Chains A and B, each alone.
Chain A
């Protein structure tokens, strides 16, 4: 039975709740929420749960970190992952996951430094999903595992798995996990994947993992914030555009060019550096670019020296730009994923 209290002030011991004529309510003392259902600040431990950042590619047909940022993709066969604009209200993108066999889906690994608060805790995973192929009872599994040693997911131990029953329309699903083990402080792995054999295609977005037993509204972050969070783990240093500039540099010798790049965001660990196709340099006074195969010296989580000494003929000491190739096909990345 509801109780209506009239008046503008409620005395609760030494503290008070006061309502003014505009309907604002002010509390003196500290408000607490023992059930943990009202949260503020950063509540979503998942990065890119809204599928906003796609630095690698907007579609792929290989397993691993091949497409949407921070999510590792797996399928046993018929691999197909892509960005979709078929979304629930309030979202820009979803990820379309296709595959054959069991366990086709996405996995995100949360690093240990973000998991200390999870020991013994109750968490709730929520997401929006629409399964266009293979929908039905218990067709999607939500699995938690923890790393066997800190930030090393080469070996993992299952914590718990729950299943949800899906339909061909978008719905929001929630799974609550209680009493997470002490070892979750090594790092937590969340997988959302098909449960059982057969081909599946589903769209998923709005993935959230938060403390507490209730799924609260999805925490929408700006694209810039989300991209910066993703760049701790992976960053594209030049994009596939012919005007993309990597760095200023100089001719270290007559046969070596080099430049130093400061990452946009400090990396989680000293990153792997890689490239597609290659890049080019344009030294002072030279109208044309010379294509090179880059090499990397990676001294820290903050910077990388990009250099080349094969096929280079320059004048030592001259300045230069390291740039993309004329055809814009080059790309360089830093990868510090878990």
Chain B
């Protein structure tokens, strides 16, 4: 294995973006990573700042969509019966829509 990139992971290392190596020196790839580190190389963090931000936004998007789905029935009820949508729901739905990127 030729080591091109190394990222730390919670339980080991991510090598060349496609291989997860456990933190077990008996594993020959782990031994190679430890030797690579001993040569003075430093693994990168698992996620860059941009990836952390993207993951956080992905979670916000998912939770917002879930909230909109769960309150769609208020809108349907309003359309069919003219029963008002509670104000707090209207406010929260607007916030959820705005949060989705």
Q: Residues of A with Cβ closer than 8 Å to B?
A: 64, 151-154, 253-255, 269-276, 295-299, 309-315, 335-338
Contacts and interface: CB of A to CB of B under 8 A. Distances in A.
A335 B58 contact: no
A299 B24 CA distance: 10
SS of A interface (majority): loop
Contacts of B27: 269-272, 336
Contacts of B79: none
Contacts of A152: 31
B43 interface: no
Interface of B: 1, 9-12, 14-15, 18-22, 24, 26-31, 35, 54-55, 58-59, 61-63, 65-66
Task: Give the 4 A-B CB pairs with smallest separation, nearest first.
Answer: A254-B62, A274-B19, A296-B20, A270-B22
Contacts of B26: 151, 269-270
A64 B22 CA distance: 20
A272 B58 contact: no
Contact of B20 (A273, A310, A315): A273
Nearest to B66: A254
A110 B17 CA distance: 30
A96 B54 CA distance: 48
15 contacts: A154-B31, A253-B62, A254-B62, A254-B63, A269-B27, A273-B19, A275-B18, A295-B14, A296-B20, A298-B11, A299-B11, A310-B55, A311-B58, A312-B58, A315-B66
A84 to B, nearest CB: 27
Contacts of A154: 28, 31, 35
